[in-house]
Chains A and B, each alone.
Chain A
Amino acid sequence: MSKELVRKSMPQRKAKERIGDFQEVNLGYTEEQAILEAKRCLQCKKPLCIKGCPVEIDIPKMIEYIAKGDFIGAIKNAKEKNALPAICGRVCPQETQCEKLCILKHKGQPVAIGNLERFIADWEASHTTNSKEYNNKEQSEPNRGAKGIKIAVIGSGPAGLTCAADLARMGYEVTIFESLSEPGGVLRYGIPPFRLSRGVVDREIEYIKNLGVDIKVNMLIGQIKSLNNLFAEDYKSIFIGTGAGLPRFMNIPGENLNNVYSANEFLTRINLMKAFKFPEYDTPIACGKKVAAIGAGNVAIDSARCALRLGAQEVSIIYRRSEQEMPARDEEILHAKEEGVKLFLLTLPVEYYSDEKGCVKKARCIKMELGEPDGSGRRRPIPIENSDFEMDIDTVVVAIGQSPNPLLLHSTPELKVAKYGNLVVDEESLETGIKGVFAGGDIISGAATVIEAMGAGKRAASSIDNFLAKK
């Protein structure tokens, strides 16, 4: 392979150093690295990469600017489509999105589109945010509130933020209602700061506020206001982006023992409430020395890596299929292994045992083998008879998936809910059963990805615009 074809790898901190804190693992490209990487792009006439990006960034154009060293041009280009580039550059599963379709993938290694996107967003932040002039000129919105029409967005995760940003740019007056104390959804309470620093989340949300979006926190819609209340307050259309925040449990004996957490509780205590800084911060977390995270998605891996950083000595992932079926991103699995997380594959916990104080002290597991592919296309795990064994553990984090947040749906019976709790919408317009009420993100898809939620938010924004134009 000629030198130019070799993809620039992401500079990162050493495993030993990084498990001592919650700072970012990846360091980002230098200007030289970014330009060299950008020059690998073939500037395809029919770029396939764009088809892999749910918000349709003009990827070759963005990369062309970078190759020329015009980083401002590049970030402006990306932001036309994507209000959260520094976030996407960090957490998008690029390997299954844009980079999967990059023509260079067939020849070896695709262009590192995500890394480049991260680079330009960070470059903009470090070179321009201190300049008031730049902020006023580049970031203010000439259209702000021009239409004089109010729209309510429920939930401030990637779906809600994207929908709000697009609508604000079109000239609508947008208010986001968020139940937690800070905006961002999973970006705030779920994904840990060592993958996505809180400074980055703050910065990109600030950008969306600068577009004219008003964010009201501590507002649990369904309890404090109903959808009808919002219509009565003259919001002409509503977007629901309440996410998949309902934790699933396995319903096995001992799951309510102390030190058995849902991943949502474990991660919210740490990431939103900063329990890793206890007692400086008041919210406690009890994390032992031998921790098991159950599951194999990003959520399980994040939980395991957080446990390491809280000082656990032995951290395991327990998963009932094999490594090949693990849904987490490859990079996360690799990072977790580098940091010392052990994989217990083809293993299923079936019971937890208690010590005299009601805390978990042991798990009983069984071994599995893989059978025929199931509905998801992955091979079905089958228990092996008499394969039970016991494991000493003192903390368990259950990360086997989340379902759509039911609260608002239950308090609004007119909304139609499908079998797994997903909100039912029109596939094209994303409109719900209630006229003028649209929805997108994890609430309609079940737990998915940041970029898919953003794609849905974008689509809903244009549907809302159409809906209001027709009125």
Chain B
Amino acid sequence: MFEILVNRELAPGIKLLEVKSPDITKKVKPGQFIVLRINEKGERIPLTVADKHPERGSLDIIYQEVGKTTRELGCLGKGEFLLDLVGPLGKPGEIAKYGTIILIGGGVGIATLFPYIKAFKKAGNKIISILGARTKELFFLEKEIENLSDEFYITTDDGSYGKKGFVTDLLKDLTEKKIDLVLAVGPLVMMKAVRQITKPLKILTWVSLNTIMLDGTGMCGSCRVTVGDEVKFACVDGPEFQADKVDFDELIFRNQRFSKEEAISLNIYNEKCGNKRCPKN
């Protein structure tokens, strides 16, 4: 059982969970994730470790309430417990001094980006951050990221904050300078659009893939994704991959494979709690 220390809202529908696990906290590196299960009947879901607190033996997870499990997670309070938490999973990102790096975070992908930004900064890179979201109120960690960045940009789809448009609009202008690495984390369509820009320019580009996972330890192939001519398991070979070879179209289909069942689960859950967001947090 894993104790919840904090579970609070950062932005509408986006929450920060701090949970105790001294063993994982000791080992986890940027880019790695955990798989959790709330209770006996729960589903195993993967979430990135956004930050860690060695002094408390705990780690932070930032998650968006999109379906049944993340909604249920949002209802748990301080002092409650998660049944299962396993990690750290996946390969750590390759942190080194590359030179100038553009880091792009879309939506809740910003959470995955944060530990990378910290680590890349520490390794002596020049950091250019671009954060994008639908609208102003959905941003989180922006002050923290701005402080770590040499250049910092924000885009919103509706123009309510920063530049109106997509992260990729900004990326086009920024790639006129010499860029050594691009790392993009966000919705699959966003990462695909980033690749569309950086591939012809031959800029080394990494993406972090959110495939559907089950065990997260390499034994089921639920998370498989085609990269070049090879089939990879995102949970052990990734989740970070070089973007130019990823078959995004296949992955977009694969991520919808349980949409019917997900809708059933969410409906039942919503009916049970009157379709309201949990009042507790």
A220 at the interface (CB under 8 A from B): yes
CB-CB under 8 A from B23, the residues of chain A are 219, 224-225
Question: Which residues of B are found within 8 Å of A261, using beta-carbon distances?
Answer: 221
B86 touches A218 (CB 8 A): yes
Q: How far is the CB of A285 from chain B (nearest CB, A)?
A: 8
Do the beta carbons of B214 and A273 come within 8 Å of each other? yes
* Secondary structure of the B contact surface, majority rule: mixed
Residues of chain A with a CB closer than 8 A to B87's CB: 220, 223-224
Closest to A182 in B: B84
Asked whether, in the complex, the Cβ of A282 is within 8 Å of the Cβ of B68, the reply is: yes
Output the nearest chain B residue to A222 by Cβ-Cβ distance: B217
Contact status A220-B89, CB under 8 Å: yes
CB under 8 Å from chain A, chain B span 223-240: 224-226, 231, 236
A279 to B263, CA, bound (A): 11
B24 adjacent to chain A (CB < 8 Å): yes
Q: What 1/0 mask marks residues of chain A from 350 to 377 whose CB sits below 8 Å from any chain B CB?
A: 0000000111000000000000000000
Is A256's CB under 8 angstroms from B86's CB? no
Q: How far is the CA of A282 from the CA of B225 in the complex (A)?
A: 24
Chain B: interface size category: 35 or more
Q: Are A278 and B219 in contact (CB under 8 A)?
A: no
Chain B, residues 26-58, CB within 8 Å of chain A (1/0): the string is 010000000001000111100000000000000
Q: How far is the CA of A52 from the CA of B196 in the complex (A)?
A: 62
Quick one: which of B69, B253, B258, B261 contacts A358, CB cutoff 8 A?
A: B253
User: Do B37 and A181 touch (CB < 8 A)?
Assistant: yes
Q: Is A131 an interface residue (CB 8 A)?
A: no
B260 on interface, CB distance cutoff 8 Å:
yes
Most chain B CB within a 10 A radius of its CB, from A246, A284, A357? A284
Nearest-neighbor residue (CB-CB) of A251 within chain B: B231
Measured CB to CB, the closest approach of chain B to A49, in angstroms, equals 35
Cβ–Cβ contact A405 & B218, under 8 A: yes
Q: Report chain B residues within 8 Å CB of A407.
A: 217-218, 236
- Is B11 an interface residue when CB atoms closer than 8 A count as contact? no
Chain A residues contacting B173 (CB-CB under 8 Å) are none
Cβ of B254 within 8 Å of any chain A Cβ, yes or no, is: yes
Residues of B within 8 A of A278 (CB): 261, 265
Determine if A100 is an interface residue (Cβ-Cβ < 8 Å): no
Alpha-carbon separation in the docked complex, A314 to B200 (Å): 48
A246: B residues at CB distance < 8 A: 218-219
Which one of B222, B250, B265 contacts A265 once the chains associate, using CB atoms below 8 Å? B222
Bound complex: CA of A429 vs CA of B269, how far in Å? 54
- In whole angstroms, how far apart are the Cα atoms of A224 and B35 in the complex? 13
User: B222 contacts which chain A residues (CB < 8 A)?
Assistant: 265
- Is the beta-carbon distance between A249 and B43 smaller than 8 angstroms? no
Q: How far is B236's CA from A246's CA once the two chains are assembled, in angstroms?
A: 11
A197 within 8 A of B: no
Q: A223-B87, A357-B253, A358-B256 are in contact. Are A282 and B221 (CB under 8 A)?
A: no
CA distance A218 to B24 in the complex (A): 11
Chain B: minimal CB distance from A180 (Å): 7
The reply to whether B256 and A220 form a contact with Cβ atoms under 8 Å apart is no
Does A381 make an interface contact (CB < 8 A)? no
Tell me if B268 is interfacial: C-beta within 8 Å of chain A: yes
Q: B24 — which chain A residues lie within 8 A by C-beta?
A: 224
Residue of B whose beta carbon sits closest to that of A402? B219
Q: Are B254 and A220 in contact (CB under 8 A)?
A: no
Give the CA-CA distance A130 to B258 in the complex, in Å. Answer: 43
Q: Which of B78-101 contact A (CB under 8 A)?
A: 83-89
User: Is A406 close to B, CB under 8 A?
Assistant: yes
A265-B264 Cα distance, complex, nearest whole Å: 21
Does residue A383 face the partner (Cβ distance < 8 Å to B)? Answer: no
Q: How far is B256's CA from A64's CA once the two chains are assembled, in angstroms?
A: 59
Contact A259 B220 (CB under 8 A): no
Instruction: Tell me if B65 counts as interface (CB < 8 A to partner A).
Output: no
- Say yes or no for B199: interface residue by CB 8 A criterion: no
Judged by a CB distance under 8 angstroms, whether A245 is at the interface is yes
Chain B residues positioned under 8 Å from A357 (CB to CB): 253, 256
Which residue of B is nearest A267, CB measured?
Answer: B220
CA distance A179 to B221 in the complex (A): 16
Closest residue on chain A to residue B235 by CB atoms: A407
Known contacts: A251-B231, A286-B260. The answer to whether A223 contacts B215 by CB under 8 A is no
Assess the B220–A247 pair: CB atoms within 8 A.
yes
B122 at the A interface (CB under 8 A): no
Given contact pairs A225-B23, A358-B256, a sample of 16 additional A-B residue pairs in the complex whose CB atoms are under 8 Å apart? A180-B217, A181-B83, A181-B86, A220-B86, A224-B27, A245-B219, A247-B221, A258-B257, A265-B222, A268-B220, A282-B69, A283-B44, A284-B258, A285-B261, A286-B257, A406-B218
Listed from nearest, the 4 A-B pairs whose CB atoms lie closest are A358-B253, A284-B261, A245-B219, A282-B43
Q: Which of A's residues lie within 8 Å of B, judged by CB?
A: 179-181, 217-220, 223-225, 245-247, 249, 251, 255-259, 261-262, 264-265, 268-269, 273-274, 278-286, 357-359, 405-407
What residues of chain B have their CB less than 8 Å away from a CB belonging to chain A? 23-24, 27, 37, 41-44, 68-69, 83-89, 214-215, 217-222, 224-226, 231, 236, 250, 253-254, 256-258, 260-262, 264-265, 268
Q: Can you list 24 residue pairs at the A/B interface with Cβ under 8 Å?
A: A179-B217, A181-B86, A217-B84, A218-B85, A220-B86, A220-B87, A223-B87, A223-B88, A223-B89, A224-B23, A224-B86, A245-B219, A256-B225, A256-B226, A256-B254, A258-B254, A262-B220, A268-B220, A274-B41, A284-B265, A357-B256, A358-B250, A405-B219, A407-B236
